[in-house]
Amino acid sequence: MLNNSIRYFLLFVIIIFSSCGDSESTHKSSADIRKPLSWGKSDVIFIFADKMIWDYGKLEIEKSLEREFFTTRNEKLFTLRKEEAKDIKKYYKFANLLFFCNLNSDNPTSKYVKSVLSNQSHALSDSIPAKIYISKNLWAQNQIVTFVIGKDAESLLLHTFEQSDVIFDVFKNRERERLKNLIYKPGLNKKETEYYEQNYPWQIDLPKQYITFKRDDENHFVAYLLRVKKYPDRFLAIYWEEMAKNEINKDWLWNKRLELGKKYYDADEFSKCDVTQKKVKFLTYDTFKLSGRWQNPDNFVGGAFTSFAFYDENQKIAYLIDNSVFFPEGNKLRALLALEIISETFKTNYRENEEN
């Protein structure tokens, strides 16, 4: 007979085959408050896999899930810890769990997963030899549990390698949800919200704990700051200018970010060897992105930043949203990710103005 934990699992498992949800329009927490809080640091993914699967797949799995991002140095969003299926009860309440199951195997991890995903495993066939199953808040709040199953070892490993970006995004998007819940738990900065609704051609959902750092309405610039002891200083700035036609390109962003750094950030600067530039999709806009390391030679300090430049055709306005972090003592990646989450709440006032 199945034990209570497995029965509980079968009752609540939510199966999804995708890369996780988009940003929500509201800031209601996605956590299940009926369950205990997840344990451990959310930057660790606990791996459960049989020896053969892990021996063959380890390098590619580590390469994908422990991928590095450049801030002032190479930082990892996640690190991996390989654990044994016999110890699964110790890990039910941890934040990130990842299982690999070979249906042809009776080794411990595969045997365990087959016992709890019996109905799903029958769905595999020659045409669909492997699948990914995802469950949120399975045993704890803010938890993500992911199962990759294949009808044999070859199918399992091939699917894992082909879907490595999908698997990474599952955990990355869940971490973004956790960060979003933390960011907006205190609420919004209503005073600032009222100000820019009345004075600016844009809006943003500014968290309550952010304060105004620099405001230059005449020259269309405002920057906000979050400063908490023992955590990174976080700066979120928005610059805008009227532009009859779209003239934004890499050079415009490069020069404008240098200009703003010199004017508003005590002459912060950056060099070509410390940054990357590329085109991305930001909200609905075709956007130029500049990211990497800033430094201030006069003050002998530095940090990490990301800038997004895009053009709103309806308003005929160019925007530059800048996320910047200063934290000599430690990592900056999650602070930048949190700033990006806030930046993605950006919206223009075009429709409201048109209706009025």
Q: Give the tens place of pLDDT for each residue, 87-134.
A: 999 998 999 999 999 999 999 999 999 988 877 767 777 788 999 999
> How confident is the model at residue 28, as a pLDDT?
57
User: What pLDDT is stored for residue 31 in this prediction?
Assistant: 55
Structure tokens at 155: 């199918």
pLDDT at 17: 34
Give pLDDT, residue 21.
Answer: 35
Residue percentage of the chain with pLDDT more than 70: 87
pLDDT tens-digit series, residues 38-50: 777 899 999 999 9
- Residues 119 and 11: beta-carbon distance below 8 Å: no
For residue 231, give Cα distances in angstroms to 97, 193, 195, 322, 330: 27, 25, 28, 19, 9
> Can you tell me the distance from the alpha carbon of 289 to that of 347, in angstroms, rounded to the nearest whole number?
18
State the pLDDT at residue 127: 83
Residue 207 has pLDDT above 80, yes or no: yes
Complete DSSP assignment for 180-247: HHHHHTT-B-HHHHHHHHHH-SEE---BTT-EEEEEEGGGTEEEEEE--TTS-EEEEEEEEEE-SS--
Is it the case that residue 210 has pLDDT exceeding 50? yes
Radius of gyration for the chain, computed over Cα atoms and rounded to the nearest angstrom? 23
The pTM for the full model equals 0.84
For residue 259, pLDDT beyond 90 = yes
State residue 37's pLDDT score. Answer: 73
Residues 6-27: pLDDT tens digits?
A: 434 333 333 333 333 333 334 5
DSSP 249: -
36 has pLDDT over 50: yes
User: What kind and span of H or E run contains 308?
Assistant: strand 301-312
How far is the C-alpha of 283 from the C-alpha of 146, rounded, in Å?
Answer: 27
Is residue 268 pLDDT above 90, yes or no?
Answer: no
List the 44-48 sheet strands across, edge first: 79-83, 44-48, 96-102, 144-150, 130-136
Q: Which domains does the chain have, with CATH numbers?
A: 4-183 (3.40.50), 187-355 (3.40.1000.10)
| Alpha-helix residue ranges (DSSP H) falling in 44-162 | 51-65, 108-116, 118-121, 153-162
In this prediction, residue 351 carries a pLDDT of 63
What count of Cα atoms within 13 Å lies in the side-chain half-sphere of residue 142? 20
User: Per-residue pLDDT tens for 296-345?
Assistant: 777 767 789 999 999 999 999 999 999 999 988 788 999 999 999 999 99
Which has more confidence, 321 or 193? 321
Is the pLDDT reported for residue 2 higher than 80? no
The average confidence (pLDDT) of the chain is: 87
User: Does residue 156 register a pLDDT over 90?
Assistant: yes
Percent share of the chain, pLDDT over 90: 67
